[in-house]
């Protein structure tokens, strides 16, 4: 197990309905030293990539993105989520439908901050069905920028998002891929990865 | 002028209605090296304080809070904003009314992440009328924790928030205090501070 998998085992809480709570260290209270270690690991996994921007989405992606960005020496751009905004020509907007919540959301980035010269590493905390991530990819493509890779803290390997993104040919690196969880006894099984 | 004031002069944009746009480096695109410098400066200004938690509010406070937290070696807790949630006994909830937007919002923190043993440094990007900040103070007090200080990137000195907070006796440190702005010629005047 790697450092993030160990931390999930130690402090993650499995709830019924395949819910994994990591609010003690990742998305409500944040262990900044852990995020820094994640940044270092993403830098290692994407060492052969030229990256000019880290792209994430509010709110819980921002902390990770900032700590990752330190290791790449590039700025973060975070997309905003909105149920509906007045369309402004200066924004890239992706409509994404949540498979789980049956609602539509907009993912929005100002055109000032992504251009065709950008090489983008997309960072987020969770990947399940991948709706938010699909919006971030769509926005990067709209800008004519290049998606160099996608770094995720925790992927739910039993949901479809990761498969879809890998099928599309993107380099997707998830630090922990949960294969299965059991809320009755609190166990979590991770997919084995060879990232040595 | 300090480093943040210089950056605001260089890249901030003054819009009519006393709006200061700093989305190029602070709250949409984020200059992580600048945030790190801010973290170092807050560490200097609160050097005599014991701090166990950095408290902020989603979304644009999170990046700054994470970079500040590195310098204090403590975790970040970010409050969530919501128009209305089903009251859950496990949450601290502050109702805050927006003076500007004439609406009520809830500021929410899980009780797991703030206790009476905590010494809290509150961090946010902007201070104007201070509604969100008042919610963060209320939540810290509800937890029986101590507000050790408040660190703000940009304070609008011509709005009431800063005066209120200082009148209440809190150590409020704003890295840049805007005294006045003129959208016609794009000029910004800062309040002189003696923080040497």
pLDDT digits (tens, 9 = 90+) for A87-114: 566 999 999 887 767 778 899 999 999 9
Question: Looking at residues A26-41, what average pLDDT do you find?
Answer: 97
Task: Judge whether B59 is closer than 8 Å to chain A, CB to CB.
Answer: yes
Using 50, 70 and 90 to split pLDDT, how confident is the model at A115?
very high
> What pLDDT is stored for residue A86 in this prediction?
58
* pLDDT surpassing 60 at residue A117: yes
Rounded distance between C-alpha atoms, residue B113 and residue A85, angstroms: 33
Other beta carbons within 10 angstroms of residue A103's beta carbon come to: 9
| Nearest to B156, CA basis, from B164, B167, B145, B148 | B164
> What pLDDT is stored for residue B86 in this prediction?
58
Do the Cβ atoms of B63 and A63 come within 8 Å? yes
Interface test mutation site (partner B, options A15, A27, A32, max chain B beta carbons within 10 A)? A32
Do the Cβ atoms of A62 and B62 come within 8 Å? yes
Tokens of A171: 């380099």
Cα separations in angstroms, B98 against A49, A169, B43, B134? 45, 46, 30, 11
Residue A24: closest C-alpha in chain B = B113
Q: Would you give per-residue pLDDT tens digits along chain B (196 residues)?
A: 999 999 999 999 999 999 999 999 999 999 999 999 999 999 999 999 999 999 999 999 999 999 999 999 999 999 999 866 655 669 999 998 877 677 788 999 999 999 999 999 999 999 999 999 999 999 999 999 999 999 999 999 999 999 999 999 999 999 999 999 999 999 999 999 877 5
Residues A118-154: pLDDT tens digits? 999 999 999 999 999 999 999 999 999 999 999 999 9
* Strand partners of residue A123: A151
> What pLDDT is stored for residue A104 in this prediction?
86
Matching residue, tokens 């049956």: A102
- Which residues of B are less than 8 Å from A58 in CB distance? 58-59
Task: Judge whether A131 is closer than 8 Å to chain B, CB to CB.
Answer: no
Do the Cβ atoms of A62 and B59 come within 8 Å? yes
Residues 6+ apart with CB under 8 A from A139: A55, A79, A92, A93, A94, A107, A109, A114
Tokens of B64: 């700054």
Do the Cβ atoms of B70 and A36 come within 8 Å? yes
Do the Cβ atoms of A70 and B29 come within 8 Å? no
Task: Judge whether A62 is closer than 8 Å to chain B, CB to CB.
Answer: yes
Look up residue B191 and give its DSSP letter: P
Closest-CA distance of chain B to residue A81, Å? 10
Evaluate whether B188 touches B14 at the Cβ level (below 8 Å): yes
Question: Looking at residues A29-53, what average pLDDT do you find?
Answer: 98
> What pLDDT is stored for residue A196 in this prediction?
59
The size of the A-B interface in CB pairs under 8 A is: 99
Tokens of A19: 């819910």
Task: Identify the helix (H) or strand (E) that includes residue A166.
Answer: helix A161-167
Tokens of B55: 């408290």
Do the Cβ atoms of A113 and B24 come within 8 Å? yes
Do the Cβ atoms of B24 and A112 come within 8 Å? yes
- Residue of B32, B66, B69 with shortest CB distance to A75: B32
* pLDDT surpassing 70 at residue A2: yes
Using 50, 70 and 90 to split pLDDT, how confident is the model at A84?
low
Residues B126-167: pLDDT tens digits? 999 999 999 999 999 999 999 999 999 999 999 999 999 999
């Amino acid at each position: 197990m790697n450092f993030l998998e160990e931390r999930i085992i130690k402090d993650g809480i499995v709830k019924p309905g395949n819910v994994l709570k990591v609010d003690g260290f990742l998305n409500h209270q944040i262990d900044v030293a852990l995020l820094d270690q994640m940044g270092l690991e993403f830098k290692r996994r994407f060492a052969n990539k030229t990256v000019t921007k880290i792209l994430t989405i509010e709110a819980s992606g921002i902390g990770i993105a900032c700590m990752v960005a330190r290791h790449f020496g590039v700025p973060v751009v975070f997309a905003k989520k909105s149920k509906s905004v007045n369309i402004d020509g200066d924004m890239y907007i992706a409509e994404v439908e949540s498979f789980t919540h049956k609602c539509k959301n907009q993912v929005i980035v100002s055109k000032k901050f992504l251009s065709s010269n950008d090489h983008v590493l997309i960072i987020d905390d969770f990947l399940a069905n991948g709706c938010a991530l699909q919006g971030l990819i769509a926005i990067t493509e709209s800008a004519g920028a290049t998606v160099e890779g996608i770094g995720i803290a925790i992927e739910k390997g039993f949901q479809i998002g990761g498969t879809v993104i890998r099928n599309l040919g993107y380099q997707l690196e998830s630090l922990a891929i949960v294969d299965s969880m059991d809320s009755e006894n609190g166990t979590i099984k991770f997919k084995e990865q060879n990232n040595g």
